[in-house]
Amino acid sequence: MPSKRPPWLWIGLAGVVLVALIAAVVASSGGSTAKAAPGVEETRPVTVTGNPLPALPDSGTDPAIGQVAPTLTGATFDGTPLTIGNDGKAKLVLFVAHWCPHCQREVPLLVTYLKSHTLPAGVELLTVATATNASQPNYPPSTWLQKAGWTAPVLADSADGTAAAAYGLPGFPYLVGLDASGKVVGRITGEFTTDTFASLAQAVAGG
105 binds other proteins (CB under 8 A): yes
Work out which of 44, 94, 99, 150 binds other proteins, going by CB under 8 A: 99
DSSP 107: H
DSSP 37: P
Nearer to other proteins, 43 or 189 (CB): 189
Smallest CA-to-CA distance from 104 within 151, 196, 172, 7 is with 172
Rg (CA), the chain: 23
Nearer to other proteins, 66 or 137 (CB): 137
End-to-end CA distance of the chain: 87
- What 3-state DSSP class applies to 109? helix
5 CB-near residues (< 8 Å, 6+ apart): none
Stretch touching other proteins by CB under 8 A, among 43-51, 73-81, 135-143, 151-159? 135-143
Cis status of the peptide bond prior to 173, with omega within 30 of 0: yes
37 binds other proteins (CB under 8 A): no
The alpha carbon of 31 is separated from its chain's Cα centroid by a whole number of angstroms, namely 27
Work out which of 46, 48, 72, 103 binds other proteins, going by CB under 8 A: 103
Cα separation, 188 vs 197, whole angstroms = 9
Site string for other proteins, 152-181 (x = CB under 8 A): ------------x----xxxxx--------
Stretch touching other proteins by CB under 8 A, among 19-27, 40-48, 77-85, 140-148? 19-27
100 binds other proteins (CB under 8 A): yes
Q: What is the binding site for other proteins (CB under 8 A)?
A: 1, 3, 9-10, 13, 16-17, 20-21, 23-25, 27-29, 31, 33, 97, 99-103, 105, 131, 135-137, 164, 169-173, 189-192
